[in-house]
Structure 1
Amino acid sequence: MSPRDLRGLVPPEPMEIILDDVDNGSSGQQLAYVLPHFPSPLIPLLQQRDVSFDTEMLPDMSGVVLKLVLP
């Protein structure tokens, strides 16, 4: 699974895309996104939806990979 790069988008567009994907996804589906920084405002919204998530910094420090598993 190749992460979708959302670094060039203006907020709140990345969050809207992610939440739309989560709300329209299937149980057990895995999603991944590249963001410019840790998505602090998004985390409570993912938790409300019982979405499992993990983050890791890109090796070149140019962004964060957000990995999701839908409930």
Structure 2
Amino acid sequence: MIPQDLRHLPPPEPMEIILDEVEQMPAGEVRAWILPHHPVPLLPMLEREGVQYRFELVEGGGVILVLSRP
């Protein structure tokens, strides 16, 4: 899995892209995105969608958001 780098996009574009993709994620799928910081406003929305998430730090700044749908 290669994360999609969204650090260059202005808000709210990264959140919109992630939410659009989450709606289409089938069970068992894992996807990842590189973001400039923890997307705190996005987390409750992900929980409502029933996806699991975790973060990995990016060397040089940013985080990788990894989502999976059980």
- The TM-score with structure 2 as length reference comes to 0.95
- Provide, for residues 26-45 of structure 1, a one-character-per-residue CA deviation record: whole Å limited to 9, x for no partner: 11110000000000000000
Residue segments in structure 1 that go unaligned for 5+ positions in a row: none
- Provide, for residues 6-40 of structure 1, a one-character-per-residue CA deviation record: whole Å limited to 9, x for no partner: 00001111000000000011111100000000000
Residue segments in structure 2 that go unaligned for 5+ positions in a row: none
Residue 48 of structure 1 is matched in structure 2 by 48
Instruction: Spell out the pairing of 1:49-68 with structure 2 (5 A cutoff).
Output: 49-60=49-60, 62-68=61-67
One-letter code aligned to 1:68: L
Aligned residues: 70
Sequence identity percentage? 49
Q: Which structure features the higher share of helix residues?
A: 2
Q: Distance in 1 between matches of 2:29 and 2:16?
A: 18
| Cα-Cα RMSD | 0.8
- The TM-score with structure 1 as length reference comes to 0.93
